[in-house]
Amino acid sequence: MLLCCAALWGGSYLVAKIALDTIPAQWLMAMRMVGSCAIMFALFHRSIIPALTPRIILPALAVGLTYWGTMVAQTIGLKTIDPGRSAFLTASYCVLTPFVAWIVSRARPKAVNLVAAVICLAGVGFVALKPGSSSLALSSGDLLTLACAVIFSFNLTLLGVYAKRFHPIAVTFVQFAVAGVMFLIGALITEPAPSGAWLAPGVIASFLYLLLGATTAAQIMQNIGLAHVPASSASIIMCTESLFSVGFSALFWSERIGWTSLVGFALIFAAVLMSVTAKR
């Protein structure tokens, strides 16, 4: 189940890339968040309703706004870079999270986390190398995706804090609700109105994959899998998300991967593995 979960997440980069050719980024995420909220409320309303008290307002804003920032940066960045590249740059959040936790909860990172951060930085440097030259070049899409990783590390740290104080499903629900409202406001202000092109069969199929597959089914399989697999092993399995993404992108998107990018991806993946195994 965890491997299927990673594969669904890995495929979401490619599918989102296809959907973004027709649906603007914030409209796409607004519909995904609202749909996810509706599904979660239908399935888990008995856990969600008791938690909807004034005490959860500030946690909801904290996790919702950081999740919104994460997805805005990633989705807009994905419009200009290949899916596999986006997946590996996003995966650097695993390396950043221990240092953010140090800021938020005073949990000092281990020496291995510092080594992983240096390796990850070297990997990003290789990804940024221009083919055939020794100069670095990060596009606006690359920078937005790296910003996504930074914001996501704060989001995960806050989720870890608040999931201990409130029901985890309720925290996820309010996170999606706040992010959905922010996406909807942003879409209404900055993006064109919905059009008939959104009803094309390929666009609808892409959206349903993101909503039902990469969000609902993947979340359910993750929760069941985590109940039967040690956390350290589960983290490594779920890290294969970026490998699935670059594989799908190479097969179905014809993403060309130069040797410098390949070395960079390998270094980033090694840094991610070091970070998740350090949690034992």
3-state secondary structure 150-213: HHHHHHHHHHHHHCCCCCHHHHHHHHHHHHHHHHHHHHHHHCCCCCHHHHCHHHHHHHHHHHHH
Query: How much is the mean pLDDT over the chain?
Result: 89
Least confident of 1-5, 24-28, 89-93, 102-106: 102-106
Place of tokens 């179905």: 252
Residue 170 CB: number of other CB atoms within 10 A? Answer: 23
pLDDT of residue 135: 64
Q: Is the pLDDT of residue 241 over 60?
A: yes
Inform me whether the pLDDT recorded for 131 exceeds 70.
no
> 235-269 in b/e burial notation, b at 16+ Cβ within 10 A?
bbbbbbbbbbbbbbbeeebebeeeebbebbbebbb
Task: Indicate if the pLDDT at residue 130 is higher than 70.
Answer: no
Cα separation, 272 vs 88, whole angstroms = 10
Domain ranges of the chain: 2-277
User: Could you give phi then psi for residue 166, rounded to 5 degrees?
Assistant: -130, 165
Q: Is the dihedral of CA 125, 131, 136, 139 positive or negative?
A: negative
Q: At what angle do helices 25-48 and 2-20 cross, to 10 degrees?
A: 140
- Calpha distance 269→146 (Å, rounded): 15
d(CA 167, CA 169): 6
pLDDT for the residue numbered 68 = 95
Q: Pick the closest to residue 172 from 208, 209, 222, 207 (CA basis).
A: 222
Q: What is the pLDDT of residues 6-49, one digit of tens each?
A: 999 999 999 999 999 999 999 999 999 999 999 989 988 998 99
pLDDT of residue 238: 84
With 80 as the cut, is the pLDDT of residue 161 above it?
yes
Element at 114 (helix H, strand E)? helix 111-128
Over residues 199-211, the mean pLDDT reads 94
- Integer Cα distance of 89 and 148 in angstroms: 9
